[in-house]
A and B are shown apart, each in its own frame.
Chain A
Amino acid sequence: MNLDEALPGFVAESADLLREMEAALLNCGGGTTDPEIINLIFRSAHTIKGSAGLFGLDGIVEFVHVMETALDMVRLGKAPMSEELVSVLLRCKDHVDALLVPVATGGKVDQGLESSGAELHAELRRLTEIDGDEKVATKSASAAAPRAAAADNDWHVNVRFGAGVLTSGMDPLGFVRYLQTFCEIRQLTVLDDALPAPEEMNPEVCYLGFDMELRTASDKQAIEAAFEFIREDCTLVITQLAKAAPASVATAVTRGGSQTTEEPGKRQAASASEGAAAAAFVRVDAAKLDYLITRIGELIIAAAGANMLARRSGNGELEESTSTLSSLVEQVRESALQLRMVKIGGTFSRFQRTVRDVSRELGKEIQLVVRGEDTELDKTVVERIADPLTHLVRNAIDHGIESAEVRAAAGKPAVGTVTLNAYHDSGSIVIEVSDDGGGLKREKILAKAIERGLAEEDQSLTDSEVFGFIFEAGFSTAASVTNLSGRGVGMDVVKRNITALRGSVGIKSEEGKGTTVTVRLPLTLAIINGFQVAVGRSSFVLPLETIEECVEFAAEEGHDFANLRGKVLPFIRLRDVFATREAPARRQSIVVVKHAGERAGLVVDALLGEFQTVIKPLSKLFRNVDCISGSSILGTGEVALILDVPTLIQQAMARGRHNAATAARAGV
């Protein structure tokens, strides 16, 4: 492995650490003294610095070093974690994010970034009173002057490197150089006893180790962290030497060699638990995961084919073994899909920052309440939903929540609340963004819609239809345009993004009380439990979760709706939608489907049963075809189209209303 290949890992890891740091910063607020939180922030900075050092990213090392020093002052109780410092540290975190961009893309750091970095440094120094001349020592040992503080401790470090470290691109000397940045190396011995005879030595295998004595204000974890990159590939023993003892005595103790008898056990125990924690997560290339899931998709198709042949052959044993196979494949599918599932909490917590920043900018006091953060959904969906959600949250803050005066006049609490909620509902995940603000003004929206020709004056529209207009391109009723939202771009983009994920978006609002935007998304984009139906000779697949029940076809004479236990059920004939020529079957069925609280019937010729469906995206040519969301291959090798239930329901509803309207008009 070469260092460049490890770089994406570094960028991803740093991004994670920065997110943790941000969360901790937002968590701690001003004036905190909680050592856990401060340590967590410190460690994040420290680890980033360490890793950046390994990659020779001096710009990042230099910047983070000052952050780290500032945090160290806080940690040592020499500077307070003021509200102001939190703000500056948040900006520093953003700055590191920005510094990471060129690393990831291979670009250059631009000048503006450098000067803003210097500015942040100045602020950090001002807030924690760090000497201006303290710099990162990279050159020689003497430059890493001991920060003679009372908290300094002496450590004995014995490290031996694994044989493969050199070929994996690591240079053990680099770790020593890095230690110098925060330790005074008082003593160092190169351990070369493992070096074999010259003839047998493999020059690419590492045989060396180091025995060091360090003096530092940092703790054991910090020293350990220096070796984090090769923790798996080295044996590391760190022992604290008797504190405040005369140097000669301390040295005598370490030279005795007995210190290694007690500590290794502890170290092993510690590393075992660390190992357990580390083993809990494995970072896997997303592409590999995608490949696995595609393969499993193929496996499901193949298994379905085998199953069908077995049934046809009439061989009982074969049938039994294929059915065992199928159930195993089913389990593998489940767990493979689980691999892609992530909790939405990570995305939600990102909004703490958005809310904080935006509400400050607008001078509003707003709290973010998060519910259902353990709800899981597909990683791709999470990634692609972040932007639309950000927009919705911003909108809620900007347009939803009123100013403090208005709120006080309305008798509401001064602090506005934005709530994010997530839960599972019939095979989809529902994400709600609500605010307790002023709500949408129905009349204003309707007036604007009529003005723009989206609605007619005498048209009777439901609330959700009226509110739906705000998702139209260029639609804005905001009286004032702020730099956040209200320019009429955005909601239409939000809707488009969500629709592209096979999701839907709805809005509920009560004037004076607040607005709730509901986003519904499929749990996964790869495989669904399908229900196969036939119309004529064609097969179609419906997502099983959308199906409520199947009933025998019985229409009210001359109408496109059926009587379902006393309720009107509008339906559409798939035969008409897909212009099927064959004569309808003698007994047709209605599949009752449901989406977002609405239900409709689909008239089909035959019900073929449940079927594991691997979604194959349609080619670009068919992208604009309504009513079809994808295709799938059946066990027989035939293609079945996957029906887009939400669109079909909308069509059925629209037709139902249209008919009702015609009927009403005819009646007049």
Chain B
Amino acid sequence: MGSPVQYKKRAVHVDGEMTVYTCGQLKPLLLEQLTKHANARDLDLSRVVEIDTAGLQLLLMARRHAGAGGRELRITNPSRAVAEVLELCRLGALIAPSQAAAGAQ
């Protein structure tokens, strides 16, 4: 326990808020995990309780970081807060295809 960004079951998990209040702390952790687990393609956001523009920005950054390494990072298990923001921003495509339907439910 402890870190809000953890690697388990081949996915990077983010826990808690992804807001302007937490992004300063999340950013290095997220980059660290993504770099360490170079084969991880999934970003599990099932435990993100709140996300704002800063959080969205962080997601886009994570994708770009992964993209630079030649992999496409997908969002899996978006929580309700994440799904709402992605829908609002027409970014539903970032959700892993098999997960999109589940997230919408």
State the A residues within 8 Å of B (CB): 140-141, 161, 166-167, 171-173, 176-177, 180, 187-190, 192, 195, 197-199, 201, 203-204, 206-208, 210
B89 proximal to A (CB < 8 A): yes
Bound Cα distance from A192 to B91, whole angstroms? 12
A197 surroundings in chain B (CB, below 8 A): 64
**Is there contact, CB below 8 Å, between B52 and A203?**
no
Known: A177-B88, A198-B31. A203 touches B53 (CB 8 A): no
Instruction: Say yes or no: B61 contacts A201, CB within 8 Å.
Output: yes
| A204 in contact with B61 given A166-B54, A173-B56, A173-B85 (CB within 8 Å) | no
Q: Which interface residue of A161, A190, A203 has the most chain B CB atoms within 10 A? A: A203
Interface pick from B7-15, B21-29, B36-44, B95-103: B21-29
Contact A171 B88 (CB under 8 A): no
Query: How many Å from the CB of B103 to the closest CB on chain A?
Result: 14
Does the CB pair B52–A190 fall under 8 Å?
A: no
Q: Looking at the complex, which one of B24, B54, B64, B85 makes contact with A198 (CB distance below 8 Å)?
A: B64
Q: Which residues in window 50-79 of B have CB below 8 A to A?
A: 52-54, 56-58, 60-62, 64-65, 68
Contact residues in B for A199 (Cβ distance below 8 Å):
31
Whether the Cβ atoms of A195 and B53 lie closer than 8 Å is no
Residue in chain B with minimal CB distance to A165: B53
Q: Can you list 24 A-B pairs with a CB-CB distance of less than 8 A? A: A140-B87, A166-B20, A171-B52, A172-B53, A173-B88, A188-B88, A189-B90, A190-B56, A190-B60, A190-B90, A192-B57, A195-B57, A197-B64, A198-B61, A198-B64, A198-B68, A201-B57, A201-B61, A203-B58, A204-B23, A204-B24, A206-B57, A207-B57, A208-B56
B-chain residues with CB within 8 Å of residue A172 when the two chains form the complex: 53
B53 pairs with A171, CB closer than 8 A? yes
CB distance from A81 to the nearest CB of B (A): 36
- In the complex the two chains form, what is the Cα distance from A140 to B88 in whole Å? 8
Nearest CB in chain B: distance from A558 CB, A:
84
Chain B contacts for A187, CB-based, 8 A = 90
Choose from A180, A195, A204 the contact partner of B60 (Cβ within 8 Å): A195
CA–CA, A172 to B56, complex, Å?
A: 11
Question: With contacts A141-B88, A176-B88 known, is A198 near B52, CB below 8 A?
Answer: no
Interface pair A166/B53, CB less than 8 Å apart: yes
Report, as a range, how many residues of chain B touch the other chain.
Answer: 20 to 34
- How far apart are the CA atoms of A188 and B58 in the complex, in Å? 19
Give chain B residues whose Cβ lies under 8 Å from the Cβ of A141. Answer: 87-88
Bound-state Cα–Cα, A453 to B3, Å: 83
Which chain A positions have C-beta within 8 A of B90? 187-190
CA distance A207 to B58 in the complex (A): 11
Tell me the nearest residue of chain A to B89, going by C-beta: A190
CB-defined contacts of B89 to chain A, threshold 8 Å: 173, 176, 188, 190, 210
Which 3 residue pairs spanning A and B have beta carbons closest together? A203-B23, A198-B65, A203-B27
Residues of A within 8 A of B23 (CB): 203-204
Bound: A177/B84 CA distance, A: 10
- Tell me if B60 and A192 are in contact (CB < 8 A): yes
A31 to chain B, nearest CB (A): 43
In the complex, residue of chain A having the shortest beta-carbon distance to the beta carbon of B91 = A190
A-B interface pairs (CB < 8 A), number? 73
Residues of B contacting A210 in the complex (Cβ-Cβ under 8 angstroms): 89
Asked whether, in the complex, the Cβ of B54 is within 8 Å of the Cβ of A203, the reply is yes
Asked if A173 meets B53 with Cβ closer than 8 Å, knowing A203-B23, A204-B20, the reply is yes
The answer to whether A203 touches B56 (Cβ under 8 A) is no
A173/B60 contact (C-beta < 8 A), A188-B89, A203-B26, A203-B27 known: no
Q: Given the complex, which residues of B lie within 8 Å of A208, measured CB to CB?
A: 53, 56-57, 60
In addition to A176-B89, A206-B53, A208-B60, 7 A-B residue pairs with Cβ atoms within 8 Å of each other are A166-B20, A166-B53, A173-B56, A192-B57, A198-B64, A203-B23, A203-B58
- Which residues from chain B contact A203 at a C-beta distance below 8 Å? 20, 23-24, 26-27, 54, 57-58, 61
Measured between beta carbons, the chain A residues less than 8 angstroms from B62 are: 198
Chain B residues within an 8 Å CB radius of A201: 27, 57, 61
Query: In the complex, what distance in Å separates the CA atom of A208 from the CA atom of B89?
Result: 12
Query: What is the minimal beta-carbon distance from B40 to any residue of chain A, in angstroms?
Result: 15
Query: Using Cβ atoms and an 8 Å threshold, which residues of chain B touch A166?
Result: 20, 52-54
Chain A residues, Cβ within 8 Å of B58: 203
* Contacting residues, chain B, for A173 (C-beta < 8 A): 52-53, 56, 85, 88-89
By the criterion CB–CB under 8 Å, are A206 and B54 in contact?
Answer: yes
Contact of B61 among A140, A180, A188, A195 (CB under 8 A): A195
**How far does the Cβ of B45 sit from chain A's closest Cβ, in whole Å?**
16
Contacts of B68 in A (CB 8 A): 198
- In the bound assembly, the distance between CA atoms of A173 and B88 in angstroms comes to 8
**Min CB–CB distance A142 → chain B (angstroms):** 10
Residues of the A chain whose Cβ atoms lie less than 8 Å from the Cβ of B64? 195, 197-198
In the complex, the chain B residue whose C-beta lies closest to that of A207 is B57
Closest to B85 in A: A173
Residues of B near A204 (CB, < 8 A) are: 20, 23-24, 54
Contacting residues, chain B, for A177 (C-beta < 8 A): 88
Residues in A whose Cβ lies below 8 Å from that of B84: 140
- For residue B24, which residues in chain A have a CB less than 8 angstroms away from its CB? 203-204
A190 cross-chain contacts in B, Cβ below 8 A: 56, 60, 89-91
By beta carbon, the residue of chain B nearest A192 is: B60
CB pair B20–A167 under 8 Å, yes or no, is yes
- Name the residue on B nearest A170 (C-beta): B53
Please give me the residue from chain B that is nearest to A173 by CB atom: B53
**Taking the nearest CB of chain A, how far is it from the CB of B87, in angstroms?**
7
Complexed CA–CA distance, A171 and B18 (Å): 12
Question: How far is A192 from B68 in the complex, measured between Cα atoms in Å?
Answer: 16
Cβ of B4 to closest chain A Cβ, rounded Å? 13
Which chain A residues lie closer than 8 Å to B91 at the CB level? Answer: 190
Q: Specify the chain B residue showing the minimal Cβ separation from A189.
A: B90
Tell me the minimal C-beta distance from A214 to chain B in angstroms.
13
Residues of B within 8 A of A176 (CB): 88-89
A173 to B87, CA, bound (A): 12
A189 to B93, CA, bound (A): 12
CA distance A234 to B49 in the complex (A): 28
